[in-house]
Amino acid sequence: MSSLLTNSTAMTALQTLRSVSSQLATTQTRISTGQRVSTASDNAAYWSIATSMRSDNAALSAVSDSLGLSAATVDTEYTALNTVIGDKDSGLTKLQALLVEAKTAGIDRSKIQADVTQIQAQMKSTANSATINGINWLSINTSSGSSATPATFSLVSSYSRVGSTPTIGSITVTTATFALYTTGGSTATGILDTVTGNSTTGFASIDTIAIGSLTDAATDQAKLDGYIAQVTAAIGTVASAAANLGAVKNRISTNTEFVKNLMDSVDRGVGQLVDADMNQESTRLAALQVQQQLGVQALSIANNSSQSILSLFR
């Protein structure tokens, strides 16, 4: 039956054209965004999971930045400790050699003291200079006020989330372990400024050892022995502190690499959920464009078919 009011053929062609146009719009959106799930309406479950994973990756990025700052801090303190230990020409190692040399009978200890004084000043300068971002673990303030150096520092090292519960991992560093010099307290407690000794060997810190007035007398020789033992012990303590920092440095390096790999893994996971397959989408686009053209042709033919009714009235 031919109807002037209802063109069922055109209605069918129009429905098909609408469906093709809708699919074409979806495909074009996927191609332009590179994602098959770009909004919650595309796939609510996948969009929600991907959003949470992106949030986790942002937190991991912050952890990576924090690890970078922590690595710089540890490296600064580690370098300073190694400088204080020194070698045959500097630091505690040189100081120990000078004190052994001062044991020589008849030697001019005042000239040796000139070298000792310079080494003491250099070690203190090195400790004071080991500051990064306002943090110094080698020269600390032990007062009870607001300016006191914290007893511990927590270096952020990891982030994880189970369900809705986030967990922040950290590496705890105790500043007293690395303190070479202290200020603000009633008594110095640093490795190099703590006063030790007895009435026989003399009372002094490594920072205040003075041998310029010592002689070949037995009591003065005993003091030199005490100073040598004191410096030898300090070398061991500083070396232990450096080894501790070296371990922390290695752990930070390992964590940094792990966090970067984890971020890449999360990115790949998000991509599997929401990224569009461009090969597939380009093929679909070509097919839908042909279907759209054919749909337009079919609708045009359906609309023109009603013109034949006019011939009945001629």
Task: Give 121-152 pLDDT, tens digit per residue.
Answer: 999 999 999 999 889 999 999 988 888 899 99
The model's pTM: 0.80
Query: For 176-199, how does the pLDDT look when each residue is reduced to its tens digit (9 = 90+)?
Result: 999 999 998 888 899 999 999 887
Ranking 189-198, 205-214, 255-264, 289-298 by mean pLDDT, the lowest is 289-298
Stretch 225-247: mean pLDDT: 95
Question: Does 223 share its domain with 191?
Answer: yes
Q: What is the amino acid identity at position 87?
A: D
Question: Does 282 share its domain with 150?
Answer: no
Asked whether the predicted pLDDT for residue 6 surpasses 80, the reply is no
The model's confidence at residue 94, banded by pLDDT at 50, 70 and 90, is very high
Report strand pairing: 139-141 vs 165-174. Answer: unpaired
> Is residue 100 domain-resident?
yes
Question: Does 205 share its domain with 56?
Answer: yes
Question: Does 283 share its domain with 256?
Answer: no
When divided into structural domains, the chain yields a total of 2
* pLDDT at position 299: 79
> Is residue 270 domain-resident?
yes
Domain of 139? 37-275
Asked whether the predicted pLDDT for residue 291 surpasses 90, the reply is no
Asked whether the predicted pLDDT for residue 1 surpasses 60, the reply is no
Query: For 10-48, how does the pLDDT look when each residue is reduced to its tens digit (9 = 90+)?
Result: 788 888 888 888 888 888 888 888 888 888 888 899 999
Question: Does 58 share its domain with 141?
Answer: yes
Stretch 157-174: mean pLDDT: 90
* Core vs surface per residue 175-205: b (16+ CB within 10 A) or e: bbebbbbbeeeeebebbbbbeebeeebbebb
- Positive or negative torsion for Cα 147, 150, 155, 160: negative
Question: Does 160 share its domain with 72?
Answer: yes
> Is residue 83 domain-resident?
yes
Report which of 121, 139, 135 is spatially closest to residue 81, judged by C-alpha positions.
139
CATH number of the domain at 89, please.
1.20.1330.10
Which contiguous run of DSSP H or E holds residue 152? strand 152-162
The model's confidence at residue 2, banded by pLDDT at 50, 70 and 90, is low
Question: Does 210 share its domain with 304?
Answer: no
> Is residue 56 domain-resident?
yes
Question: Does 203 share its domain with 226?
Answer: yes
The model's confidence at residue 309, banded by pLDDT at 50, 70 and 90, is low
> Is residue 16 domain-resident?
no
Stretch 98-119: mean pLDDT: 95
> Is residue 6 domain-resident?
no
* pLDDT at position 222: 92
Q: What is the amino acid identity at position 84?
A: V
CA distance 312 to 314: 6
Question: Does 168 share its domain with 297?
Answer: no
> Is residue 25 domain-resident?
no
Asked whether the predicted pLDDT for residue 108 surpasses 90, the reply is yes
Question: Does 287 share its domain with 142?
Answer: no
Question: Does 291 share its domain with 226?
Answer: no
18's CB contacts (< 8 A; 6+ apart) are: none
CA distance 53 to 289: 35
Question: Does 142 share its domain with 263?
Answer: yes
CA distance 58 to 53: 9
DSSP state of 105: T
As given in the structure block, the two tokens for residue 221 are: 């020789």
Asked whether the predicted pLDDT for residue 157 surpasses 80, the reply is yes
> Is residue 11 domain-resident?
no
